[in-house]
Structure 1
Amino acid sequence: MSEVLNVEAIFGENVFNLGTMRERLPKNVYKEVKKVMDQGGELSLATADIVAKAMKDWAVEHGATHYTHWFQPLTGITAEKHDSFIGHPDENGRMLMEFSGKELIKGEPDASSFPSGGLRATFEARGYTAWDITSPAFLKEDATGVILCIPTAFCSYTGEALDKKTPLLRSMEAIGEQALRIVKLFGNTRATKVTASVGPEQEYFLVDRQKYLKREDLIFAGRTLFGAPAPKGQELEDHYFGVIRERVGAFMKDLNIELWKLGVTAKTQHNEAAPAQHELAPIYETANIAVDHNQIIMETMKKLAERHGLRCLLNEKPFAGVNGSGKHNNWSITTDDGMNMLDPGETPNENIQFLLVLACILKAVDIHADLLRQSAADVGNDHRLGANEAPPAIISVFLGEQLEDVVRQLIETGEAKSCLLGGKLMTGVSTLPDLPKDATDRNRTSPFAFTGNKFEFRMVGSADSVASPNITLNAIVAEAFCEAADILEKADDFDMAVHDLIKQYLTEHHRIIFNGNGYSEEWVKEAERRGLPNIKSMIEAAGALTTERTVKLFERFHIFTKAELESREEIEYETYAKSINIEALTMIDMASKQIIPAVIKYSQKLAKTVLDVKAAGVEPVVQADLLSRVNSKLTEMKEALEVLQREEAAAFAMEDVKAQAFRYKDVVVPAMEALRAPADELEMLVDKADWPFPTYGDLMFEV
């Protein structure tokens, strides 16, 4: 047996959390910090100095030499600049470790070197990071040593948000304020705060590092741009929840320990559907901490994979022909007195507050379907959504049989007199208990599914930040709550008004509900008939950021300004164009320097074999046929390569960023596919010993 691990003892040991603050801060200082965390406001500089010293002393005791303002720019990953605690030496030349409240509260990274969509230029470099007091500081150990990481927001000198955290915090305040209005309408005087909570599940692939390093496409693009299917994929469904391999298990063990030390509630681990694919799921947390922790999870996965001789692939579609990876963004809203506003109770037909909340969410998702789709848009996700492995690109809501029946009754008769009950599942085995059965099945094909007491937004890509979808969810639901509260607060007869409003919203937005097979062609046609948008690509979705409706929504709740939205739309186009350009150049490099030379050498071997067999007096039928097929595909590949080179150069030269992005999508991507097709066929023809890099079988089954 291995050494017993005391999870309770190590959990959060590398986090400057409330428990640590309570131990290290004077009582009055702790109370002030807690009040600001709960109610907002600013710490006095004197208090900030005390907190900073306690934080520094704690970090130094744990071996820290530097601190960093850890922030989330619009790259989708995190950024950090390390400063040591070293201060000016005293008159005796003795150095003292220093960290002030001013340094804790504000930093100043270069704002011009991050994506800004035109909000910042090179000659306008100043930007600020501001301490997010609601997300605890933590220690991270890397090759440079132990670093104190302070979660911060990042904004420009002129005040625009240049990050993911700032608008997320704004959106949390918006939904908290509007949800509290709804709660109070139903007589809840105990609740003083409502918080959005999130539990993002994380899917990922693990491959052998040495094999990874032999594939330029994985190194530069994060996914395979060439590759014939392995003889076995996921068709036997034997990997999903299967026994975890020893090497992967060792990685998962170390990953859990590292995450637990960082206060991340890593709960569930298992093999996913595709070979070499896995999943980690944490417990629910407030939205901003969940977003921070998801970034920590991804960073830690990549770091620990290296230590185990592995490489963690977070791209949404690293391998063609098998499932890609996503995040299931489980979202709910909870009051500070412990009530989940998405809990229907045992008789949801009688739970009027829940029915109003549900009706508001349906309204929000229907009206802003394009914006919700955009919030999950990234380059890799274009290959995953709608590929019969993930939700389609069409936004719809799954409620299940029980709630759909309640909604139907309300629409048809104005009241729901009954609801379907779950009953019992009879196992038929005397030694097994009969199991309580839920009233509703699950639907893995739905992009936005109600799953008991939360909504699961399944569209989000595995490499993407979960900030954007949660900003959008918080904002659109806040708007629906606000509009409902505006009506109900003025009503003379509240019971009648809320009854009429629920029926109105359900009737007007019933089209967004779909419980069937989201993968079917019939649904695509049905969705079109209903008038639901089918936005298939990242750049087609980008325009949703700047519609009049979206600008009005975000400005109303002070989440984004119009300028901030316009900058984000431009960044979407830039990101897409740059990413596809990298992929195209990588394909050109691999085709020119690896695949074509390898195939030429192999064809030379075949040609010699043909001549040798002829010289022996035998007709080389098989050898000649193989040589002909190889040369035919080689010619096809060379022609496709020349087309891609020409189209990539033409797209790269374009100056209009939106037009450039569409040129990459409409012209360059098809040219890439045309190059890949003959290359993958050649992989099936060429001797494996002559193929220049590891195959799908090598990557997915030899971990």
Structure 2
Amino acid sequence: MATLRFNAIKKTFDRKPVEINEVERRSELFGRNVFSKRAMRQYLTSDSYKSVINAIDKGDKIERQLADHISTGMKEWATSKGATHYTHWFQPLTGSTAEKHDAFFETVDDNSAIEKFSGQQLVQQEPDASSLPNGGIRNTFEARGYTAWDPTSPAFIWGTTLCIPTIFIAYTAEALDYKTPLLKSITALDKAATDVVRYFDKKVNKVTATLGWEQEYFLIDSALAASRPDLMISGRTLLGHSPAKGQQLHDHYFGSIPSRALNYMRDLEHECLLLGIPVKTRHNEVAPNQFELAPIFEEVNLAVDHNSLLMHVMEKVAERHNFVVLFHEKPFKGINGSGKHNNWSLATDTGSNLLSPGKTPTKNLSFLTFFVNTIKAVYENEEILRATIASASNDHRLGAGEAPPAIISVFIGSQLTKVLDELEKVTDGKLSPQEKTDLKLNVVGKIPEILLDNTDRNRTSPFAFTGNKFELRAVGSTANCADPMTVLNSIVAKQLIEFKQEVDGLISSKKMKKDDAIFNVLRDYIKKSSKIRFEGDGYGKAWEEEAESRGLSNYRNTPEALKSKISKKAIDLFTQLEIMNETEIKARFDIEIEDYSKHIQIEGRLIGDIARNHVIPTVIKYQNVLIKNVKGLKEIYGKDFKDQAKEQMNIIEAISKHIAHINKNIDQMIDARKKANHIEDPVKRAHLYCDEVKPFFEDIRYHCDKLELLVDDELWPLTKYRELLFTK
């Protein structure tokens, strides 16, 4: 292993940089490999084109007879760009993407063949629904499942394959993917938000949730990464002592991008633009060899698809540049991990951002309505929202002094806090003319100042208002954005439905004017949801105590957090909005709780293997060298050798103690793992892995890392942090 380590380092330094030439304008590259509206107008008949556009804009069903025309046009476009195969591209509950490639090929007789792609092949296919995670919905002998075309997300070409975004459902119609519930939540939010926004603008016919994600990641030389079995299998380093220099000098963040990383980024951006992913921002992140990429905001379903596609493209492009991309939330101990901030907002078909403060009382009343309802939705459902960001890998990041705490709170800034505080003082019942004037001109009229961004940001807040959007900062870098976005869409939709019912009730029962009724309901919501608002330091112990006194949840690990996914509140939320049924909800919980146990199990096996089969044998070799040295000193100095060999003897003794601790902890960890494996209840098994297996990781690591500082560098088998993080 030591030889492998040094060969990896030599290979890294011997590499020549991959130079990337950017000739074409980015605007000319954008969407070239996407079956966009422009491509559809060229390759589809007028009726086919209108059918797809109506499906995208209005949710209309595409007739089967038109599907054949659409598939023919799509095939002609794809083959003109060199595509030889097609696939239904979907997002199963593994957290990654899935695809099965079929050729545009059918035989006609013994001597001839044709290229064919039918409407049936476009609209629907039948992958195995039992081998992918299904939470017990499908048995091994019941394998039938379906993928169905999602026309709202355009087909694209990757390599020589036409990729068609689809949903994935069981034969019994339950959703087995992330996209299906997301699409249903989008529909529910559209209807609820449109009904409310028509209080202010009768011209609005559609409200769209938008998403702008920020993808953080590490770039590690592929040869160096390959010499670390923990990094290659678990995505993080289970062992490794912190280097002398980490991120303490703050010299990497927003610094000059290293040339090799920049070449990778340029190549990646080229591929992204061809695929219609509107990447815009790139920069160094806080930790060494950590970077970030962010796009322009898009409709939430398309944005989720693009993020899932991006992660795949990032890995493929990295191979060209001899990099490995690390998406794990905490690949290195002692330095910042990676997140994926989800910036969410609401846009109307008339071009308005409903979370952007306006310059008139009416627009500000509209802004306040959606702003306050979102806060109320988060307050009422903070446990469910917390559950969407829970995972074995994100547990390492949340509350670690680098990311938001596990306690869900909302940050809105001092100016908006003042606005809500003043609005809360409004009296019950109808507004007096004076109150109405004061409220509209003096309170609501102040909100446009927020556009100047003169309210500070709070990076310790998991859910922060940042000018014209809410930023869910706690999403992990490995996560599929669909899960948190489905929940956020759903809770806001439910809240807006309740809001409209209350407002309409006041208008009809108490004969209030519309504005009076809206203000009264908003004032009540501000009071009820005030406990979720927090402007201070989320990292401190004081906030934990205060949050507890406010009645906010503080789930410190995934098994604790996930239980909220099958609470009565969660089941009622999704079933009432017809986003998921109870079977689908419980299946997803079963998948995630089992996934947690498997991740901890894999890491337990890994750390035991590396410690016993790599670290300890190396350490014993070095200990034998020291023992031989002591014997030599004894021959030279005779009875006085102890004074001369004192330091060597101390190291020998320290090594023996560390080895003993490592072996003892590994034995106990294996026993705990066996105990957990014999538990049939998946929830109890997950808690055992969390509480009784995982704690041994830190003990084993502590002693291995101490040995790293004692053993000769030329013998140490694992590539060290200083090499992984500072090799350009």
1:613 CA drift (Å): 2.3
1:256 CA drift (Å): 0.3
- AA aligned to 1:297 is L
TM-score with structure 1 length normalisation?
0.95
Residues 453-473 of structure 1: CA distance to partner in whole angstroms, max 9, x if unpaired?
A: 000000100011000000000
Do residues 695 (structure 1) and 720 (structure 2) align?
yes
Residues 403-456 of structure 1: CA distance to partner in whole angstroms, max 9, x if unpaired?
A: 0110111223456534797999xxxxxxxxxxx952311111110000000000
Q: Is the 8 A contact 1:395 1:512 kept in 2?
A: yes
1:78 is aligned to 97
2:431 is aligned to none
Residues 237-272 of structure 1: CA distance to partner in whole angstroms, max 9, x if unpaired?
A: 111001111110110010000000000000000000
2:43 is aligned to 24
Do residues 232 (structure 1) and 245 (structure 2) align?
yes
Q: Which moved more, 1:676-685 or 1:446-455?
A: 676-685
Seen in structure 2, the aligned counterparts of structure 1 residues 423 and 128 have a Cα distance that, compared at 3 Å, is closer
What is the aligned residue count? 687
2:604 is aligned to 584
1:560 CA drift (Å): 0.7
Q: Is the 8 A contact 1:402 1:420 kept in 2?
A: no
1:388 CA drift (Å): 0.5
In structure 2, distance between residues paired with 1:636 and 1:182 = 63
2:613 is aligned to 593
1:359 CA drift (Å): 1.6
Gaps of 5+ in 1: 425-435
- AA aligned to 1:653 is H
- AA aligned to 2:187 is E
Do residues 624 (structure 1) and 643 (structure 2) align?
no
1:608 CA drift (Å): 1.1
Do residues 133 (structure 1) and 151 (structure 2) align?
yes
Q: Which moved more, 1:341-350 or 1:472-481?
A: 341-350
Seen in structure 2, the aligned counterparts of structure 1 residues 406 and 248 have a Cα distance that, compared at 3 Å, is same
Residues 191-228 of structure 1: CA distance to partner in whole angstroms, max 9, x if unpaired?
A: 11111000111000010101111111111111111111
2:71 is aligned to 52
Seen in structure 2, the aligned counterparts of structure 1 residues 4 and 419 have a Cα distance that, compared at 3 Å, is same
| Structure 1 counterpart of 2:489, from 447, 468, 474 | 474
| Structure 2 counterpart of 1:184, from 153, 176, 198 | 198
Q: Is the 8 A contact 1:573 1:657 kept in 2?
A: yes
| Structure 1 counterpart of 2:367, from 354, 363, 367 | 354
Residues 524-560 of structure 1: CA distance to partner in whole angstroms, max 9, x if unpaired?
A: 1111111110111111111111111111111111101
In structure 2, distance between residues paired with 1:283 and 1:660 = 42
2:669 is aligned to 644
| Structure 1 counterpart of 2:165, from 134, 143, 151 | 151
- AA aligned to 1:456 is E
- AA aligned to 2:391 is D
Q: CA RMSD in A?
A: 1.8
- AA aligned to 1:278 is F
Q: Is the 8 A contact 1:581 1:652 kept in 2?
A: no
Q: Is the 8 A contact 1:402 1:419 kept in 2?
A: no
In structure 2, distance between residues paired with 1:24 and 1:90 = 29
| Structure 2 counterpart of 1:110, from 128, 132, 156 | 128
| Structure 1 counterpart of 2:479, from 464, 467, 472 | 464
SS of alignment partner, residue 607 of structure 2: helix
In structure 2, distance between residues paired with 1:653 and 1:233 = 41
Q: Is the 8 A contact 2:615 2:717 kept in 1?
A: yes
Seen in structure 2, the aligned counterparts of structure 1 residues 348 and 225 have a Cα distance that, compared at 3 Å, is farther
1:671 CA drift (Å): 1.5
2:691 is aligned to 666
Instruction: Provide the identity percentage.
Output: 45
**Pairing of 1:188-267 with structure 2 (within 5 A):** 188-267=201-280
Do residues 380 (structure 1) and 420 (structure 2) align?
no
Q: Is the 8 A contact 2:157 2:275 kept in 1?
A: yes
In structure 2, distance between residues paired with 1:88 and 1:5 = 40
SS of alignment partner, residue 489 of structure 1: helix
2:312 is aligned to 299
In structure 1, distance between residues paired with 2:360 and 2:423 = 14
| Structure 2 counterpart of 1:526, from 546, 556, 581 | 546
In structure 2, distance between residues paired with 1:162 and 1:79 = 12
SS of alignment partner, residue 281 of structure 2: strand
In structure 2, distance between residues paired with 1:288 and 1:638 = 49
| Structure 2 counterpart of 1:512, from 524, 532, 536 | 532
- AA aligned to 2:596 is Y
1:427 is aligned to none
- Regions of 4+ moved over 4 Å: 346-350, 413-416, 419-424
| Structure 2 counterpart of 1:539, from 554, 559, 582 | 559
Q: Which moved more, 1:644-653 or 1:211-220?
A: 644-653
In structure 2, distance between residues paired with 1:268 and 1:24 = 33
TM-score with structure 2 length normalisation?
0.92
Q: Is the 8 A contact 1:348 1:355 kept in 2?
A: no
In structure 1, distance between residues paired with 2:628 and 2:448 = 73
SS of alignment partner, residue 312 of structure 2: helix
2:575 is aligned to 555
1:122 is aligned to 140
Seen in structure 2, the aligned counterparts of structure 1 residues 422 and 473 have a Cα distance that, compared at 3 Å, is closer
Seen in structure 2, the aligned counterparts of structure 1 residues 213 and 348 have a Cα distance that, compared at 3 Å, is farther
In structure 2, distance between residues paired with 1:177 and 1:419 = 26
Q: Which moved more, 1:436-445 or 1:307-316?
A: 436-445
In structure 1, distance between residues paired with 2:725 and 2:425 = 52
1:615 CA drift (Å): 2.3
In structure 2, distance between residues paired with 1:611 and 1:626 = 15
In structure 1, distance between residues paired with 2:140 and 2:452 = 61
| Structure 1 counterpart of 2:81, from 58, 62, 73 | 62
SS of alignment partner, residue 691 of structure 1: coil
In structure 2, distance between residues paired with 1:282 and 1:683 = 41
2:8 is aligned to none
In structure 2, distance between residues paired with 1:423 and 1:688 = 60
Seen in structure 2, the aligned counterparts of structure 1 residues 130 and 233 have a Cα distance that, compared at 3 Å, is same
SS of alignment partner, residue 469 of structure 1: helix
Q: Is the 8 A contact 2:83 2:161 kept in 1?
A: yes
2:57 is aligned to 38
- AA aligned to 2:520 is D
Residues 35-57 of structure 1: CA distance to partner in whole angstroms, max 9, x if unpaired?
A: 12111122112211011011111
2:32 is aligned to 13
2:5 is aligned to none
In structure 2, distance between residues paired with 1:3 and 1:554 = 47
- AA aligned to 1:33 is V
SS of alignment partner, residue 251 of structure 1: helix
SS of alignment partner, residue 632 of structure 1: helix
- AA aligned to 1:663 is L
Q: Is the 8 A contact 2:357 2:363 kept in 1?
A: no
- AA aligned to 1:199 is G
In structure 2, distance between residues paired with 1:609 and 1:640 = 30
Gaps of 5+ in 2: 1-19, 428-434
In structure 1, distance between residues paired with 2:539 and 2:22 = 47
